[in-house]
Amino acid sequence: MLNKIDLNIVESEFFLKYQSWFSSSRIGYLLVFIAGAILPLAFSPVNFYLIALLSPAVLLFSFLFVTPQRAAWLGWWFGMGFFGVGVSWGFVAIYVFGLSSVFVSAVLTFIGISLMATFIALQGYVSVLFIRKFNIENKIITLLIVFPLFWLLLEWFRGWFLTGFPWISLGYSQTGSVLSGYAAVLGVYGISWLTALSSSLLLVAFLFKNKKSIFVLVGVMAIWLGGYFLSLVEWTEATGEPLKVSLVQGNVEQINKWDPNHFEKRKQRYLSLTREHWDSDLILWPENSLTVFHHQLKESLLKPLAKEAKKNNTGIILGLPVLDLETKEYFSSLMAINNSVKDSSQIQFYHKSHLVPFGEYVPLESLFRGLITFFDLPMSGFTPGKYDQKLLTAAGQKIAPTICYEDAFGEDLIRFLPEATLLMNASNNAWYGDSFAPHQHLQISQMRALETGRDMMRVTTNGVSALIDYKGNIVSLSPQFKAHVVTGLVQPRSGSTPYVRRGNLLILLLVLFGLVGSVVFSRVT
């Protein structure tokens, strides 16, 4: 691809040494696969966020030497390494808890990873189509524009296409870096773009062997300093007094969670842990902590619990399924018992609106239902709740609710803001065992707190449960695989961040103008 080597930019021997690796040798596939496989280490629980600068640079470097078709394969192998390690927990969910065979679990996991890797393959193809139109120096300039923009665009598309899978977007890796300061303005996708842009700039600084490298490095420093100064901005303000909150982590085994023979034991565990913390203003239980329909528990459990909570001046939000007796549809729901209303029977519901495909509902049900054991799980027939539901009220606060996977969709959450003063996520992450998934999900919740300028209360079945402040810092954290109650203070807040007001609009406009500008540039150069 690079026919002429400008020695003022790079050493020709250096390029020639590696050109054959990426342009024709299988070694190139191995190198990008390894680069992708180490990228999940930038995310929680390892949190070595600098890897998110180095790993994409290897992929981008490989694109310098190849045709669009070859770049697509390089991108696919990078994606297989990235998602193969990063979302390997999918196999655990399907095999261990979905009761499928090793073969079926491996095949389904491979298909899912391959589909996600295709997004990075597409990025490689279109990036090189742009890059190869320029001479050497303009190719370097184009890399700075095209590669980060297509990374951003395809991440956003992955988070939307077929209901979306926005897991381990590159921006999540930066919750512990100064780039997190951009979250309140550009959201997670904006941080993904800035991370990829920083990676591109560092590669260019490496390729240039003259004073130009200094200017490029200054650009990287400017991006990161900008994040630091933005992190000092107080976009929201405290309102009212802090609340004492308790998150009840019951540590219920997923394998028998829906077994009615174990229900009484689970119920008593949550009740006993709750009664030890009646001095809290608000108590939260995780997603489907009760696995019996609301109408079946209303008289025997929920009304007495509401009276007990009101007596102790404590609000409760708990997870349970709700059946519509008329339509026979059932929902994965949160029920709020509000201690601030006069009538203790007044309760609120939030029905989960963004369901997990195949886990909570089966697309093309007539085709897939009965085909594989995993598709016949007892909780795989939920109906999505309406998008325009009201937020929950408890302990005198308006709370933006999300159930499990929903908080991976930042633009969905902001529909509750700026009215909400607190965020909550109730999750059943026992599906994923001792894998990366619970830690990655915690990092997602940190990003939602950063984007909205609100404290986040995250309660899970068996860990990791946490209280997160409005700057994305973890204030209190539970151990995994133990019955535990996280207790601490949260501060209600008011006001709007730029992200709450605009969502992803600003960053999508950046993609549009950047790519249109690149096309125009390619035609006039």
In whole angstroms, what is the distance from residue 336 CA to residue 285 CA? 10
404 is catalytic: yes
C-alpha dihedral (287, 288, 294, 300), degrees to nearest 10: -110
Supply the pLDDT for residue 7: 38
Instruction: Say if CB 89 and CB 168 are below 8 A apart.
Output: no
Q: Which of 257, 267, 310, 352 is catalytic?
A: 352
What does pLDDT average to in each consecutive run of 10 residues of the chain (525 residues)? 42 62 84 97 97 96 89 97 95 79 90 95 91 68 85 94 90 98 98 97 82 86 97 97 97 77 91 97 96 94 93 96 92 88 70 82 52 51 90 95 95 96 94 91 98 98 95 97 97 98 94 83 67
Q: Which of 317, 304, 311, 382 is nearest to 347 (CA)?
A: 317
Supply the pLDDT for residue 157: 94
471 is catalytic: no
What 3-state class would DSSP assign to 279?
coil
Global pTM value: 0.92
Supply the pLDDT for residue 517: 82
- What is 326-360 written as a DSSP string? TT--EEEEEEEE-TTSS-TT-EEEEE--SPPBTTT
Q: Which of 155, 287, 406, 451 is catalytic?
A: 287
CATH number of 237-496: 3.60.110.10
Supply the pLDDT for residue 1: 43
Supply the pLDDT for residue 140: 72
Q: Which of 404, 406, 411, 451 is catalytic?
A: 404
Supply the pLDDT for residue 344: 47
Which residues, at least 6 apart from 24, have a Cβ–Cβ distance to it below 8 Å?
Answer: none
287 is catalytic: yes
Q: Structural domain boundaries of the chain?
A: 12-234+504-524, 237-496
